[in-house]
Every structure is written in C-alpha cells, then in structure tokens.
Amino acid sequence: MYDRLIDFLDKGKARYRLIDHEPEGRTDIVSPMRGNELAAAAKCMVMMVKIGKKEKKFVLGVVPGDAKVDLDAVKALYDGTYISFADADIAEALSGCVPGTVLPFSFNDELELIVDPSLFVHKELFFNAARLDRSMALNTKDYEKLAKPRLESIVASSQKASSKSKRTVKKTDDTELDHLRHSLAHILAQAVLDMFPEAKLGVGPTIENGFYYDFELPRTLIPEDLALLEKKMEKIVSQGQPFVGEKVSTDEAIRRLNDIDQPFKVELVEDLEASGEKEVGFYANLLGDKIMFVDLCRGGHLEHTGKVPKGAFKLIKTSGAYWRGDEKRPMLQRIYGVAFKSKTALNDYLEQLEEAKKRDHRKLGMELDLFQFNDISPGAAFYHPKGAILFNELTSFLRREYRKRDYREVITPLVYDKSLWEQSGHWEHYQENMFVMEVDDREASLKPMNCPSHMIMFKMRTRSYRDLPLRIADFAMLHRNELKGALGGLTRVRKFSMDDCHIFVAEEQLEDEVVNCIDFTKYVYELFGFDFDVVLSTRPEKSMGTDEQWATAESALEKALKKSGLDYELNPGDGAFYGPKIDFRIKDSLKREWQCATVQVDFQMPIRFELEYEGKDGKSHRPVVVHRALLGSLERFIAILTEHFSGAFPFWLAPEQMRVLPLSEKFNDYAQKVRDQLFAAGFRVESDYSDQTLGKKIRDAETTKIPVMLIVGEQEQKDTTITARYYGQREQTTFTVEALLEKYAGSTP
C-alpha cells in the first residue's frame, strides 16, 4: 500500500521523507518516537471500508491525537457497510469525532488518504501504517495541492453525509438513493399512463430497496406487462426529462387533478387541506416544452430522468392493495420496483434475493424435515425430531457455557395472576399482546416475557452483596398474541423461547458484568461465523432514573465496550426509557442484518418490584438489573442459522451428523457394525440400506446436507476402515473407525 502512495506522490512531484524505524505496532508508541512538532498530535491508521458484497476500499489516514474519527461520516462518505481497522486498539481510540473535519483525496481507485484539515497548520504531515516499520513525512502544501480537486468535490457531500449520519445510524438513510427511487416511482407512473391512459394513480412511495406505485387499471397486469413497462421507463430515462416543481394552492391542485381525472389524488389533497395545508407541490416531467407527466409530490428528485444509472432498476412483482389499506375501498394494483446506484449493486441484490429464496427457512424446514406449522396453532412451530435436535443442541451448548460463566438456570411457571402484570406495568401497556385467561375466577395470563417472574424470584429470600452478581437464566416458553396476519415462519411467532437472563448487580459491578456479557456474545457469534455490528443507545428524552444513574450506566457500557475492543456506533437518545442498552446486529452469510443480542440496563424494574440487597455496610441497597439475551428468540435464531448455513449445519449442530453408505447389500452387516459403534460413541448416525447405487446414496445424503458420509465396501470391510466424504466436497479419506472417533471427539463446543 505504501508503494502505491509513493508512486502517486512521485507522479505528483510531491516532497516527502521516509522514516524507517522499528516496527512499533501501537501508534501511541510511534507518535512520541518521531520527536517533531506533530509528536503529540499524529495518530495514524489504515482503515478498510467495506462496500457492498465484495468491494473494499483502503483508507490511509492521520487524525490528531485527541480527535476522533466519525465512523458514521466515513461510512456514509464511501457508502460503506462497515469499517474495520488494521488494529483494534486504534479503532478503539478513534471512534466518534467531529464530522466534516476528515477530508480525503484519492490516489487510485482503492486508496484514499485522509487528513484532518486542522493538521494543515503543520509543515509536514506524518503517516504511519499501523504495525509497519516505515513512516512518512509529507509536505503539507504538496498534499493540499494534490488533494485539492478531490477535496473540493468531496467537501459538500462529506458535510451532507455527516449531518445525515448524526441523525440516525440506519444505513438505509441515503438521500441520493432515495431520490433515485422516488424519481423512478414517477417514471413508472408515466410509463403506466402511457400504456393505460385511463389509469388512476394511488400513492407511490419509496421503500427498502426500491419503490412501489398503486394504480387502478382497466385490467389485471400479467408478468409480461412488467417487461413492457420497463422498456417504457428506459425510454423515459433516455429522454432525460427534467423534474420541474411548483407550489400551488390546494384549490388549484384539486382543480388540476379533477381536470386530469385523478380522483385518488384529489382525495389526498382534500385531506391535506382538511389538516390545514394551504399549498401542495406539483412536479412535472418535461420533454422539450411538452409536459409528459405531473404528479402531486413533496419533492426530492434527481435533476432529470437521465440521471437514473443504466440498468440500475427492475420491476419485480405486482400485488393487490386496497386504496388507503381500507378493504371497503377499491382494490388497486401495486407494482413493485427495486433500484440501486449501479447495475452491479442491483445485480448483487437480485442474486441475493434469489439465494435468500433458496435458503428460506420455511422451505428448508420442510425439505430437511426440521419443523412445520399448522393452522391448528398459528404462530407456533411443530419441531420434528430433527428440528428438536437443533433446538436442544443450542440450549445444551448454552447450558455448558452457563456453567462455565456462573449463570444459574431456573424453571418458572407460565401462567401468572394479573397482579404480577399490574406491578410490572404490562397489564396497562402490553395487555393486548398477552394471552389472557380466567383462573380461579381471576384474570391471569401466559407470560409474554420472563422479567417480572425473575424479579419475584429475586425477592423470594433476602439477598446480600455476596449473592451478586446473580445471573438467572431461563429458557421458558413465552407467548405473545401477535396479529394472525403478521405471523410468518419462525421469525414471527406467537410461541417462542429465549436464551433469557436477568443479572442482578450492585451498581459498581455493572461495567465488569457488561464486559462479561460482551465477551460471551462475541464467543457465541464467532463460533457461528457471524460478523456483527454493535450499537450503544443512550438516554432518550423521556426516561426514568436520575441523571447520576444514567451517567454511571452509560459510562459503564461505554467503558465495557472499549475494554472489549469493539468498534461500535452510538445511537444517542435511542435507549429504553428505563436504561441504556447495547444491541448486537449480526450479519449472516447473505450480509443481511439481524438484531439478536441485547444487553439492557434497567433501573425501573428494581424500583417497581422494590428489590433490595444487604450491602457490606449492613445497609439496604437497590440492585441494578441487566436484561441480556445472546441468541434472542431461539425460534428466530434457528431460522437465521438455517438460512445462514443454507441448511448445511456445522457438524455439532447437524441433526444427522453421519450416514453410513454400504457399496452394496453385501456390506450391510459391516455398515451396521460401524453405525452401532459410532452411535454408541454418541454420534447422530444413520445408514442407507436402500438398493440404490452408491452414487445415488451420496446424492441423497448431499441433499439432506449431512456433514459426513461414510462409505464402506470390500476394502473397508477387510481393513475395518471407512472412507469418509464430506458435504459439498469430492475428496475421500480412509480412516479406521477409531481414528474417525478421535477426529470428532470434542467437536461439540
């Protein structure tokens, strides 16, 4: 990387000095070593910005010693999905700086050099790639000269990007992309009107990954229509029609919309008028002087239709949708489109969509005989034996970890008198999601969450500081009465279990305990091969608890994150009203994000339930509660795992770990002997005695995604060996059964 930088600087005739030194590793050691005016200021880093699926961008940069890099701003700037550093220590030191102070310039497609402009007061800029044994002093004037064009082009977007990223950490917040999608909705409507001049327009908002538009049409659309509409849209794009906006009074708007016979739009304006609006926006697409299309709209478009990148959108499906979601109103036809900034990005998305369809856990659940649903109990899974193995292996794994980490598992009732829910506040705020029933002439409910029952358990005896931290874990079944229409697969259910735990700590134990939680989470996610993002959410406007409590808790979480060496995003004001929290968002093999683990501090429950413990000082103190789950809902996690591994689970989780495949009937006895031996050793092993050919048996085992196939024939029987073949691979290896047992002993974490 350094060589490329040097090449670039040489071409630009820039003045620089190279400084060789011992590899120092840590920048805080490197900086003082330099003994120059920047000694206290310069910290250096190599960052990798990951863009989309494959693309990577390296950023070599300098930031002042005590300033911080705004990771959100950098991400937004490069449209990156995440940033990682060459060195975790540095990452830790660099999170959260003043947005807009970091300005890059490009010296080739992949590499950017970032310098904080506040460093321009110095004569030379110092660079050091972490853990490299060479630093560079670059003439500041020369840097500026080389960087100038790039700087100018980027300042505007950089500032836009940083103000954007402050508002929210959601990466979908991308104005440019939103304008593209919104403009495409107009273009679609124009194309539809071209095809059906009598079409009536509903609404056409942007959505995740694209846009839709609702229409009342003279006939039902067929799939071929979408291709025709796309052609028409492409034509509109090629014409480069500008978007021209104006504000008109609501009366004028209604008149115009009546003129072009768009009753749904008229209704929208009438509603706006009724809510006090005096003016509405109109946007027209022009071709020369000719008005091609107008739409009622607030604005936020591309400059003209020609700005739509080539091949960057696609119409994907149609569906029915009632006008304004009201089943008493007309049924319209909704056309969905997806759009991205480039053809490549669109293709990546479509590929991912295709792959996601193949991996859909509802589909794989049936194919692999894991679980099924039945209308007799909506939103509750029937786990078949193989699915039950997944569930039980996960909980067994956690139980082993609980033992190591001093968690105490409890078993709790499912039905509770309503007084518990009144005390916890659920009766008032959550009742509609609870399954309420009558018990002993009183109202009661199935528990939708474990917290209140654990508070009760804490209070069942007097507690002392010696009991803390007390980690109460529970896999109890939970029931939430979700709307039937919202149910789907294992991800939206009515009945589920969590790897739930409530940790009761003294306030001063909070930081260490959160470090433990983070460590546990990291261990688990790394085991499954998940990448993850971490978000720290702080005090919202409306909150319970004192300033001091919040300050202590937030700093405990922050310190714990820093100690754990995790890069994290800050989501100010997004904590729960009862305390700050850390959320973990995992990325599966399709780069989809799932919110799973959460570590939430709670001041509220201990007050509501009047929890106390006796401190060292003999006085009574109030504990803090940490709500913590790693996998979250086990049902949902099983869905994620199924899709992440596409049903090819790792050996220790696989419902059927091995299958013995005799070459022919002659070897069935030997196969059975092998199978019994492995079964006795504790493996989940079956054998295939069908009269199929070996090739067919292998294909069957592959379809079932069994990790290890054991082939036995003449030679194997003679030598008392087996020939192993692994899922998705062609190579085969011959082992003695003992060697095989040894290979897989201890494979379960």
- Which residues of the shown chain bind Zn ion in the complex (CB under 5 A)? 283, 297, 451, 627
Instruction: Return the number of the residue (129 or 187) whose C-beta is nearest Zn ion.
Output: 187
Instruction: Return the number of the residue (144 or 252) whose C-beta is nearest Zn ion.
Output: 252
Residue 213 zone, left/alpha/beta (φ > 0; ψ -120 to 50; rest): beta
Residue 672 tokens, joined: 């059975």
Instruction: Return the number of the residue (129 or 478) whose C-beta is nearest Zn ion.
Output: 478
DSSP string covering 158-216: HHHHHHHHHH---TT--HHHHHHHHHHHHHHHHHHHHH-TT-EE----EETTEEEEEEE
Instruction: Return the number of the residue (135 or 190) whose C-beta is nearest Zn ion.
Output: 190
Q: Give the DSSP H or E segment for 3.
A: helix 2-11
Verify cis geometry, omega within 30 degrees of 0, for the bond prior to 662.
no
User: Residue 651: CB partners within 8 Å, gap ≥ 6?
Assistant: 657, 707, 708, 744, 747
Instruction: Return the number of the residue (184 or 451) whose C-beta is nearest Zn ion.
Output: 451
Q: Angle at CA 42, nearest 5°, toward 36 and 48?
A: 145
Instruction: Return the number of the residue (243 or 371) whose C-beta is nearest Zn ion.
Output: 243
Instruction: Return the number of the residue (225 or 602) whose C-beta is nearest Zn ion.
Output: 602
CB of 117 to Zn ion, least distance (A): 37
Taking the mean position of all CA atoms in its chain, how far away is CA 671? 45
CA distance linking residue 296 with residue 239, whole number of Å? 22
CB of 178 to Zn ion, least distance (A): 11
Beta strand 442-446 pairing with 415-417: antiparallel
CB of 204 to Zn ion, least distance (A): 8
CB of 624 to Zn ion, least distance (A): 13
CB of 179 to Zn ion, least distance (A): 9
Q: Distance of CA 678 to CAs 308, 526, 667, 668, 726, Å?
A: 61, 29, 17, 15, 16
Instruction: Return the number of the residue (301 or 314) whose C-beta is nearest Zn ion.
Output: 301
DSSP assignment letter at 431 = G
CB of 266 to Zn ion, least distance (A): 17
Q: Write the burial class of residue 587 (CB in 10 Å: 0-12 exposed, 13-18 middle, 19+ buried).
A: middle
Instruction: Return the number of the residue (65 or 245) whose C-beta is nearest Zn ion.
Output: 245
User: Residue 147: CB partners within 8 Å, gap ≥ 6?
Assistant: 103, 104, 105, 113, 115
Instruction: Return the number of the residue (51 or 476) whose C-beta is nearest Zn ion.
Output: 476
CA distance linking residue 282 with residue 217, whole number of Å? 23
Which own/partner contact pairs does 8-11 have at CB distance under 8 Å and 24+ positions apart? Answer: 8/107, 8/108, 8/146, 9/107, 9/138, 9/142, 9/146
CB of 163 to Zn ion, least distance (A): 22
CB of 368 to Zn ion, least distance (A): 32
Residue 467 zone, left/alpha/beta (φ > 0; ψ -120 to 50; rest): alpha
Dihedral sign computed on CA atoms, order 264, 265, 266, 271: positive
Instruction: Return the number of the residue (75 or 454) whose C-beta is nearest Zn ion.
Output: 454
Instruction: Return the number of the residue (119 or 451) whose C-beta is nearest Zn ion.
Output: 451
CB of 549 to Zn ion, least distance (A): 18
CB of 298 to Zn ion, least distance (A): 7
How long, in residues, is the chain? 749
Instruction: Return the number of the residue (564 or 598) whose C-beta is nearest Zn ion.
Output: 598
CB of 185 to Zn ion, least distance (A): 7
CB of 236 to Zn ion, least distance (A): 14
CB of 186 to Zn ion, least distance (A): 5
CA distance linking residue 53 with residue 308, whole number of Å? 22
CA distance linking residue 682 with residue 705, whole number of Å? 20
CA distance linking residue 596 with residue 206, whole number of Å? 27
DSSP string covering 278-305: -EEEEEEEEETTEEEEEEE------SBG
Burial 374-388 (b: 16+ CB within 10 A, else e): eeeeebbbebbebbe
Instruction: Return the number of the residue (48 or 248) whose C-beta is nearest Zn ion.
Output: 248
3-state secondary structure 642-691: HHHCCCCCCCCCCCCCEEEEECCHHHHHHHHHHHHHHHHCCCCEEECCCC
DSSP string covering 432-474: GGS-EEEETTEEEEE-S-SHHHHHHHHTTS--BGGG-SEEEEE
CB of 403 to Zn ion, least distance (A): 22
CB of 301 to Zn ion, least distance (A): 5
Instruction: Return the number of the residue (75 or 628) whose C-beta is nearest Zn ion.
Output: 628
Q: What type of residue sits at position 86?
A: A
Instruction: Return the number of the residue (114 or 312) whose C-beta is nearest Zn ion.
Output: 312
CB of 605 to Zn ion, least distance (A): 8
Burial 390-407 (b: 16+ CB within 10 A, else e): bbebbbebbeebbeebeb
Torsion, CA 600, CA 601, CA 607, CA 610, rounded to 10 = 90
Helix (H, G, I), strand (E, B) or coil at 526: helix
Residue 634 zone, left/alpha/beta (φ > 0; ψ -120 to 50; rest): alpha
Contact 667, 694 (CB under 8 A): no
Instruction: Return the number of the residue (627 or 697) whose C-beta is nearest Zn ion.
Output: 627
Give the position of tokens 């199924």: 642
Instruction: Return the number of the residue (500 or 511) whose C-beta is nearest Zn ion.
Output: 500
